[in-house]
Every structure is written in structure tokens, then in C-alpha cells.
Amino acid sequence: MKQSVSSGALYLMGAEGAFIISNYMLHIGIARYLGVEAYGVFGVLMSLYLVNRSFLNTGFPRAVSKFIAEGQSTALIRTSLIFQMVMAVLFALGYILFAPLIATWLQDDSLINYIRFLGIMIIPLALMGLYLSGYLNGLHKFREQALIKFLFPILRLALAGLLIWLGMEMFGVLLGMLIASIICLLLCFPLVRLPLIQEHNSKAKTESKVESETRILSKLVVFSVPVTIGALALTLLRNINVLFVKSLLADNLQTGLFTAALTLSNIPYAIFTAFPLALLPAISSAYSSGNVEQIKRYITESLRYLLLLLLPLTALVAATAPQLLHIFYSSTYTSVASVLIMLTISATFLTLFVLLSSILIGIGKPSLAMGITLFSVLLMSLLNYYLIPSFGLKGAAFSSLIAAFLALCLAGGYIYHQFKVLMPWRSILNIAVASLVIFLLAQGGGFPGWLVLVAYLICGLVYLAVLGIIGEIRQTDVKKFKKVFMFASEKED
């Protein structure tokens, strides 16, 4: 079982990597080929989609996966499928019927048909999420799950590119996404059949003891609600500013520029949010056994390793923001370099907060983590209304930075109050000094064009050298790195 789960994790990591790469290729292609204003429209539509995905593709599929893996009855597939279908249709109708109202808030009536089309897309995307993250994951069919998760972004990118080339522009992007989701959903159907569920659940209860579908649905909803709300709040904290920029400035050009900065700033967040997924079960296990010292060790080590990786990347992006925007987008977008810097720092705070949130959930405080996130979203929304009209895109970026920093302080403050530990000040200072060195090197080097990526490699080596000289990299760190590398490269027996 451990080997299959480990293999599954590697399969899914590969699929997630393909999704991230293809997603950036899609963003950059639209920004370059269709222009800044069309890219602003795309940013608004994807923000609406991400908010919807938090509802339908996160909490409920995870609950289904959990109960399937625990050997629940075969009635689960029918109950969950009906529920997900009903919810998807309701959300689709909401987008279709309220598209004029949403477009009015965004001050752009040209968005109405796009929003309605987005409503149609919701149904296959929601069902695909249930099949992939729910059924296939719960059945431990990780290879098939990863294959389809790998195929979807590739198909989406290829179809969108083809349809844009044929002259369909933004509708081509949405249609390509719809066709890709339908194809992948059809591939899921033969992989999830009742005989497979019955075979997987060979130790399930007899039919006379099977829970009623009503009770199954109740358990699924109760389990998924806090997960869904938490995922929604995090999505809003990271993506809703695009909608505020569009609504308050009513300018597709400004929205496109902000979307470009936000997309690039998401790189550290996308890479390092795997840390909380690995930490949560370890914290939960230590907490349930009452091992406080182990919890403290997990807290300090996870924060230290995350900061070791996160802070130098933030420093490099801050030092080379104009070059990055020019390389990946074009010179048209370099005017938002300062916005990219603020959003990258915000992403750093948010990534650390997500790690601390996992610790809170692991010690039995999911409501606190959810409450902090919701409060931060509310604060950011209020700041947006005040700052965006006065300061434009910088105001939106500053709102994100303040909200993420406050969330980090609240979560960190509670954990320190409980365990009297976070991270040694000496390590924070050492990492900050090493990051400052490479920031100055990257900023003063004047590396043109693609050479900035070579500069990243040089700066990375300098960063490691500085950490070694000041004694922050220890022998235990080297040993752990070797163990991780050996685990990732070893073959299954």
C-alpha cells in the first residue's frame, strides 16, 4: 500500500507540473497573441472560474475520496454523482441567469456572453473533478487519475491555440477548455463502474447494513463544508483582486496588466504549497499521540525549510521583475514591475500562512484557520474599495500584501502562544542575509533578456555558498536532502 501511495504521489506531482507549465503557456500565449485587453478579459473569466472551482472541485470530491477509500457502500457513487450534478446545474444557471448582473458589477456588458458560456463549462468541469479527485483517487487508481489530469491541460492548450488561430479569439479559449473537459470526462466513465467499486470494497458492509443514501449524503456534506469554505477563502485571497480591478477601474488594459503580474507572482505559491499537504498528517499524528516536542520540531523545521526555499526566490523575482515581465510577456507589461514585486511578497506571506493553517488544522483548529482566512478576505476587499480608486494597480497589490501579512501574523501568533516556538531568529537572519546578497547581485548585474535565467543559477550557487559560510546549512540538512533525492530516484521493488 505504501509503495502504491508513494507512486501515486509521484504520478500526481508530475500531472500537477504539466498543469502548471501548460497553464503558464496558455496565459503567456493569450497575453502575447490576443493583446493586453483580451488578456484582461481572460483574467476576469478565470477568476470567476476559480471561485466556482473552490465550491465544486475541492471539498466534496475530497469527501467522496475519503469515504470510498474507507470502504463505504456502492450507493456512494450514485448519491455523490446526483448531488454534484445538481450543484453544477445550479451554479451553471446562476452564471447564465445572473450574467448581466455580474457584468454590470464589472462595468462591462461585453462580458455577458462569456460569463454565460462559463456557466455551460461548469457542468463537465465539475463532474470531471468528482471523477478524478473523488472516485479515482478513492479507488487508489492514481496512475489513471494522473494520466487524465496530465491530458486535460495539454488538450486545453492545444485546442485553445488551434481555435485562436482559426480566429475565434476568446471564445476559442473557452471552447477549447470545454471540449478538453468533455473528452477527459468521457475517458473517466469506463474507469469508474459499480463492479470496480464493489471489488475495491470487498470488505464493505453487507447490503442489509448499508447506510441510506440520505445519511451518506449528509456525511459527505458535513465533511466537505469546512474544507470547501477554507478553499474558497484561500482562492478569494489570491484571485479576487482581478475582479476588483476590473470593477473599480473598468479598464481591460489595466486588468490585463494586473493579471500578468499576478500570474507570475503565483509561481512560488504554486511550487511550495506541497509543504502543507505533507505536514498536515504528521502534525495530526503527533497531536493525537500527545507528542508536543515532536509538534514543536515539525513547526520549526517546516518553517525553516520553506523559508530557505521561498525567500531567495522572492528576492530574485523582486530584483529582476522588469526582465521577467519582458521575457514571459513583452515590453508592454514591464510597467507593472512594482506591482509584481508587491504581489510576490504577498505570495510569500500567503504560502507561509497556508503552512501555518495546516498546523492549525492538524491540532484540531480548522475553524480558526478558516476564520482567519475569511477575515483576511474581508479586510482585503475593504482595502480594495479604498486603495484601488486612489492608487490603481499598486493599491490592489498593497491590499493583497497587507491581508496576507495579517493572516500570517494571526496564525503565527496563535501557534506561538500555544507552543512557544516558531522559528529561530538566527535562522531567519541568516536566510535574510543570504537572500539580500543574491538580491543585490541580481539587481546590480544588469543581466539582459534570457540571461537573467542563467543569473538565477549563479545566484542560487552564491546563496548556498553564503549559507554554508555563515553556518546555516548543516550536516543534517545535507543528509535529509540526500534521503529525499534517493527516495525520489529509487525504483519500486
Rounded CA gap, 490 and 41, in Å?
Answer: 45
In a domain, 15, yes or no: yes
Q: For 115-135, what is the mean pLDDT?
A: 89
* pLDDT band at 479; cut points 50, 70, 90: low
CA angle 58/90/236 to nearest 5° reads 45
Rounded CA gap, 29 and 439, in Å?
Answer: 29
In a domain, 1, yes or no: yes
* pLDDT band at 392; cut points 50, 70, 90: very high
Rounded CA gap, 384 and 425, in Å?
Answer: 33
Rounded CA gap, 356 and 276, in Å?
Answer: 8
Q: For 20-25, what is the mean pLDDT?
A: 84
Q: Does residue 171 register a pLDDT over 70?
A: yes
User: How many Cβ atoms are within 10 Å of 480's Cβ, its own excluded?
Assistant: 13
In a domain, 301, yes or no: no
Write out pLDDT tens, residues 317-344: 999 999 889 888 888 899 999 999 999 9
- Quote the pTM value: 0.82
DSSP assignment, residue 72?
A: -
Angle subtended by helix axes 169-188 and 36-56, to nearest 10: 30
User: How many Cβ atoms are within 10 Å of 287's Cβ, its own excluded?
Assistant: 17
Write out pLDDT tens, residues 409-461: 999 999 999 998 888 889 999 999 999 999 999 887 767 777 788 888 899 99
In a domain, 79, yes or no: yes
Q: Does residue 4 register a pLDDT over 60?
A: no
Rounded CA gap, 389 and 247, in Å?
Answer: 10
- Report pLDDT for 2: 37
Q: Does residue 96 register a pLDDT over 90?
A: yes
Q: How many domains does the chain contain in total?
A: 1
- Report pLDDT for 11: 61
Q: Does residue 484 register a pLDDT over 70?
A: no
Chain centre to alpha carbon of residue 308: 20
In a domain, 335, yes or no: no
Judge residue 475's burial from the number of C-beta atoms within 10 Å of its C-beta, 0-12 exposed, 13-18 middle, 19 or more buried.
exposed
Q: For 10-19, what is the mean pLDDT?
A: 66
Q: For 205-228, what is the mean pLDDT?
A: 62
DSSP string, 25-69: HHHHHHHHHT-HHHHHHHHHHHHHHHHHHHHHTTHHHHHHHHHHH
Rounded CA gap, 95 and 122, in Å?
Answer: 9
* pLDDT band at 89; cut points 50, 70, 90: very high
- Report pLDDT for 47: 87
In a domain, 296, yes or no: no
Write out pLDDT tens, residues 284-318: 677 778 888 888 888 888 888 889 888 999 999 99
Q: Which residues span the domain enclosing 171? A: 1-202+214-232
Report residue 75 as a C-alpha cell: 450507493
In a domain, 363, yes or no: no
- Report pLDDT for 297: 86
Mean pLDDT for the chain?
82
* pLDDT band at 195; cut points 50, 70, 90: very low
CA-wise closest residue to 156 among 137, 131, 173: 173
Q: For 209-223, what is the mean pLDDT?
A: 64
- Report pLDDT for 490: 47
Rounded CA gap, 160 and 180, in Å?
Answer: 9
CB 270 within 8 A of CB 239: no
Percentage of the chain lying above the pLDDT 70 cut: 83
Judge residue 109's burial from the number of C-beta atoms within 10 Å of its C-beta, 0-12 exposed, 13-18 middle, 19 or more buried.
exposed
CA-wise closest residue to 137 among 183, 216, 212, 192: 192
In a domain, 262, yes or no: no
Rounded CA gap, 272 and 354, in Å?
Answer: 10
CB 115 within 8 A of CB 95: yes
Judge residue 216's burial from the number of C-beta atoms within 10 Å of its C-beta, 0-12 exposed, 13-18 middle, 19 or more buried.
buried
Q: For 19-44, what is the mean pLDDT?
A: 88
Residues 6+ apart with CB under 8 A from 168: 175
